[in-house]
Amino acid sequence: MVKQEFINASIKPLDSLDTLSPLEVSQLQKGAANNNLYHVFRQCSLAVLNTGSDIDNTADVLEMYKNFDVQIELKHQGVMLNLINAPVNAFVDGEIIVGIREHLFSVLRDLLYIGEELLQEHASQSASSNITNTVFQILRHANLLKPNIKPNLVVCWGGHSISRHEYNYSKLVGYQLGLRGLNICTGCGPGAMKGPMKGATIAHAKQRIENGRYIGLTEPGIIAAESPNPIVNELVIFPDIEKRLEAFVRLGHGIIVFPGGAGTAEEILYMLGILLHPKNQDIPYPFIFTGPAGSEAYFEQIDAFIKSTLGEAASDKYSIIVNDPNAVALAVQEKLQQVHAYRKDSGESFHFNWQLYIPKEFQEPFDPTHQAMAALNLHCDQQGYVLAAQLRRVMSGIVAGNVKEPSVKAIAAHGPYLLTGDAQLMSKMDDLLAAFVAQRRMKIDHEKYVPCYKIVR
């Protein structure tokens, strides 16, 4: 018997989507005058349906399911999505998995809300407050902001291409967090983004916590490489990586970092740049790196790179705990008490960190073209947070070159990104990136990995 690989289905939302207008529906239809929104909608929908795949290249996913289509229409009962040649793994006995159904309509909700009109409106508003307000509006529209709840949301960062040993450890950490009533927020994909949620679900069940939160934040360019895992029960798609990162740090109350590759390094550099800014010196924010036994070398490399580029002041902003999930959870719990006391005393909200200052260097969307990557200011004679912003863009470009369709095509046509800067700094960066490659952290299909960058010395 030939195994069925594709399926056609028509699905309706459960209760997470308001009625749509004919105008909104027309914006997402294939024949629309400007069908870029449809293209993004199709790509994100396919990524949601393709959860669990071992492919992390957008172009490969789109080629494998080149006959996939999603059509939206209005029925008298409300909106309907017609799926054509959809991945069969999203279904059980012909019925779509409930979590995946929810994610599809989250995609629909967010893409309509952050559609081209909203993005164009805010593209010309470079003021930091306007960008932050956009992040706030997207989170509020998705109903993620829960006022008057004591800080309990832990952001977990880490790689999608990690070993089974590291994945199991992330589950143990999530379990210890869940036993203490803490909720989880990740990039929503596989690996270290799924493990903590999986561990927390078991702990929440044991503690009879029925409203556990497993929040996933993503963006269209990365979603195919990091398809949302079905444990996520609150999914939001942001228009770009910078707003996604800002949402993490404003929504979350503390951050745990598991081993990862360039994407995880990008997240670390983003957070360090913010914590290094003088305006944020007195704001408590738990920041812990952790991994299982055997991950010591990974954290030693990260720590050495940070100290040699951003200095000891940056390394003071985080702590490293190896092979002790219980100690990680206890440390987070203790530091969250400090966060609670600070926000209460300062009048800051519990659900959105307005006081945290995010420099414009971390908010402005970065398009990693060959020209933009070559023009990065990779020199040490600048303030720490400014250098962190430049280093963050290096890692963001490498992530794009590894998995994002436009960047992968550009590199195939024009060769790898060329990176130049201070000799010592570039040597340290070369060592760090080479370690990611050697440890198979750049892509799931690591055997075929060819670096999308070249360090020019």
Tens of each residue's pLDDT in the chain, 457 residues: 445 588 999 998 876 565 677 777 777 777 655 577 888 888 899 999 988 776 666 777 778 888 999 988 887 667 889 999 999 989 999 899 999 999 999 998 898 887 654 555 555 555 778 899 999 999 999 999 999 999 999 999 999 888 999 999 999 999 999 999 999 999 998 899 999 999 999 999 999 999 999 999 999 888 877 889 989 999 999 999 999 999 999 999 999 999 999 999 999 999 999 999 999 999 999 999 999 999 998 999 999 999 999 999 999 999 999 999 999 999 999 999 999 999 999 999 999 999 999 999 999 999 999 999 999 999 999 999 999 999 999 999 999 998 888 898 999 999 999 999 999 999 999 999 998 888 888 876 666 788 899 998 7
For residue 428, give Cα distances in angstroms to 9, 72, 264, 373, 457: 51, 50, 17, 18, 12
User: What is the Cα–Cα distance from 410 to 276, expressed in whole angstroms?
Assistant: 34
Structure tokens at 40: 């993004």
Question: Is the CATH code 3.40.50.280 the one for domain 6-113?
Answer: no
Contacts of 166 (CB under 8 A, 6+ apart): 158, 191, 192, 258, 259, 291, 292, 295
Show the beta-strand stretches assigned E in 305-426: 319-322, 417-419
Domain range list for the chain: 6-113, 128-346, 364-455
Long-range contacts, stretch 432-440, CB < 8 angstroms, 24+ apart = 432/265, 432/301, 432/302, 432/305, 433/262, 433/398, 435/298, 435/301, 436/261, 436/262, 436/265, 439/298, 440/161
At 152, list the tokens. 């309990």
DSSP 3: P
Question: Which residues, at least 6 apart from 1, have a Cβ–Cβ distance to it below 8 Å?
Answer: none
**In sequence order, what E strands does 363-408 have?**
none
- Which pLDDT score is estimated for 113? 83
Return the CATH architecture of domain 128-346. Answer: 3-Layer(aba) Sandwich (3.40)
Residues paired with 91 in a beta bridge: 96
CA dihedral 179, 180, 184, 190 (to 10 degrees): -30
3-state secondary structure of 6: strand
272 neighbors 263 (Cβ within 8 angstroms): no
Beta-carbon contacts of 285 under 8 Å, excluding residues fewer than 6 positions away, are 249, 254, 255, 271, 275, 339, 356
Decide if 6-113 and 128-346 have a common fold: no
Q: Given CA atoms 162, 165, 170, 171 in this order, what sign does their dihedral have?
A: positive
Q: Whole-model pTM?
A: 0.92
